[in-house]
Every structure is written in structure tokens, then in C-alpha cells.
Amino acid sequence: MSELPYAHGGPPLSAVLRATPEDFLVDEDLGITPSGEGEHVFLTVRKRGTNSDWLAERIAAFAGVPARDVSFAGMKDRHAVTTQTYSVHLPGKEAPDWAQFPEPDVEILSHTRHHRKLRRGALNGNAFRITLREITGARDQAEACLQAIARRGVPNYFGEQRFGREGQNIQRALALFAGRRIPRKQHGMLISAARSQIFNAVLACRVQAGNWDRILNGECCCLAGSRSWFVADNAEQATHDVRAAKGDIHPSGPLWGSGALPSQAEAAALEEAVAQQNQKLAQGLARQRLDQDRRALRLVPEALQWEWTDARTLVVAFSLPAGSYATAVLREVAAWREMV
């Protein structure tokens, strides 16, 4: 993400991130309360340095069910301490003794039943508490940057993990679109990477132009806290500007698909120009028969707080909606190297 433009002047700090997994804490907010009965056992777990998919396989093996019968709502960082919920399909079956689960870096905090399985993406969001260590740089500028983020938010970039090691998912997506045989189970990941690449390119253009948090003519506006969006009526531009300033609505960028863009006028012209620069990706996505969709260009962290625990250690805490990346917030404050 370091090559993408910054909204707040560039990071004033340098730091170490993830010196230990405990420096990156994530708590999932499902937004639902299990009913206490049903075919699915909901397990709330705390895991340290553990991959979400790997743990799903271990839970399935312990419960004696196929891997497809274990699901979770969202991927979590491996190099972290994360709390999340898994569902295990156990219709008419007695659950195992979860206290005997053998993995040393996994603690099962609670278990109860529910009538539906967890589906990918079905969560409100995540709360983060992140510690940056060995900090150098201008502390006063960092304070001003954090205050600006609290007021205006940050560009809602997709994070590096969406694109794979050294961005290889984009090249593999191009290979898929060119007709090369790719295992079917990888298609969804590569298509998502291609959509993310075009979205990030549109957002980067708008950050450079200084209008990433403003409503353009023909803008598709995302409602805050919702996946709904609407096309702005230019006759109500003043009203849209006020709502955007309050954070009620956000400008949006394309998740590319087939058919015409829903955006219009100035917004559509910018998006079409970026798609032309990424023509092979855009054409490949159009052939997948995906609907055009939208994603907010602006990300406003909720309950943003920070504390200097000593002269070289900064703790930052905030909550983000599902599908957002904590690194999109951190990158505006600090350039970091990871100890993993």
C-alpha cells in the first residue's frame, strides 16, 4: 500500500508493527445473539498466531465433521491475537467436550447453539487495539494526523493481503481471464483481487485530486453504516455536501462488473478512464457476469482513541465495519516494518 497516495500528508512516524501477536488485537462484532438452540454450535474462540482456515479444519477434525460443516464470518489476521466465532453443524449430535480442544494457542471462550450457520461476511465489523513500537518521527504531527483522521476518516483502500504475496493475485487474475486453467476454488479470490485493484486505482486518483471525501457530479453515494447506495441528484448538491461533511453519506468507487456504470457525469468519466488504464482486468471482470457494485471511498474509524504509553510506543484503538482494513488507518500515521 506504500505506493498509494496519502490523504493526510504522508505518515509522520516510523515504527515496528507486530513485535508480538499481542500488539495486534482484534475482536469480532457479529451483531447477532445466538438463540441457544438449533443445529449449529457457535464457538467463540481467542486464537494467537493462528490462521482462520487452518483453525476451521482443526475444529472440524475435533468435532468429527467434514470441513464444509465449519464456517466463520470473516478472515482474521494470523499474526495477531483475535477473537471470533465459528459455527459447527451438529444436527441431532452431541457436541464434544470443547474444554478438551487440543490446540495450545486457541482458547474456546464460550459455546452455544443457533438455528443458522455463520456465513462469510455476515458480521458488523471488528474492534482493533494496535501497538506501534520503536517509534521515531514527529509526535506533534502524529497527533494532528490522528485528529484529522477522527474528523475526516481515511481512504478506504483494500489492504495488501487482498492481492497476495508481492501482488501475485493480479497476475494470476489476468491469467484466469486469458483462459489459463486455474483451480476453481481460487477463482473467487482472484476475481476479488481484480475488482480491488480497479477500486484502489479509482480511489488513488481521487486522493490525488483531493476529492476522495467529496460528492462529485453523478456520484453514487453510500449510506453510512449500510451497503445501500443511491445516485446523487445534482440539483441537491448542497444537501449532499452537508450530509457528506457530517458523515451521513460517503462517495463511492466501483466494484467492477458487467453492464453500464451506475455513476454518471464527472464521477463516471473518472471511473471509465481508470478502467481503460486497467482494460484487461475490467474486460475480464465484465465477462464474469458480475453486477456492477459500489464500495465507499471513505472509511471513518469509530471510537478512535490513542495513547502514548512511553516516548516510543503508541497504542491506537478503533472499530471498523466489515470488509475494511486496519492498515488503511495505520498507514496515514506510520510507516512500519513488521517483525513477522
Q: Which domains does the chain have, with CATH numbers?
A: 13-22+125-151+300-338 (3.30.2350.20), 32-114 (3.30.2350.20), 157-299 (3.30.2340.10)
Nine-digit cell at 159? 489492504
Q: What is the largest CA-CA distance in the chain?
A: 64
Give 294's contacts (C-beta < 8 A, 6+ positions apart). 220, 222, 229, 252, 253, 254, 255, 262
DSSP 8-state class, residue 106: E
Element holding 34 (H helix, E strand): none
Kind of pairing between the strands at 81-89 and 24-29: parallel
Length of the chain: 340
User: Catalytic residue at 77?
Assistant: yes
**What is the pairing mode between strands 81-89 and 40-48?**
antiparallel
Judged by DSSP in three states, 329 sits in helix
For 258: left if phi > 0, alpha if psi spans -120 to 50, otherwise beta; the answer is: beta
- Please list, residue by residue across 310-319, b when 16 or more beta carbons sit within 10 angstroms of its beta carbon and e when fewer do: eeebbbbbbb
Q: Which residues pair with 127 in a beta bridge?
A: 27, 319
Give just the sign of the alpha carbon dihedral 289, 256, 3, 329: negative
Cβ burial, residue 15 (10 Å; 0-12/13-18/19+): buried
Rg (CA), the chain: 21
Amino acid at the residue 62: F
CA distance 173 to 165: 14
Residue 108: its H or E element: strand 106-114
Among the listed residues 23, 69, 77, 213, the single catalytic one is: 77
Amino acid at 107: E
Q: Could you give the CA distance from residue 122 to residue 72 in angstroms, rounded to a whole number?
A: 9
pTM tops 0.85, yes or no: yes
List the beta bridge partners of residue 151: none
Quickly count: other Cβ atoms within 10 Å of residue 283's Cβ: 12
Tell me the backbone φ, ψ of residue 275, rounded to 5 degrees: -60, -35
Q: How far apart are CA 248 and CA 222, in angstroms?
A: 9
**Per residue of the chain (340 residues), what is the pLDDT tens digit?**
668 999 999 999 999 999 999 999 999 999 888 999 999 999 999 999 999 999 999 999 999 999 999 999 988 888 999 999 999 999 988 899 999 999 999 999 999 999 999 998 888 999 999 999 999 999 999 999 999 999 999 999 999 989 988 889 999 999 999 999 999 889 999 999 999 999 999 999 999 999 999 999 999 999 998 888 999 887 788 888 899 989 999 999 999 999 999 999 999 999 999 999 999 999 999 999 899 999 999 999 999 999 999 999 999 999 999 999 999 999 999 999 987 6
Nearest to 204 by CA among 120, 268, 270, 133: 270
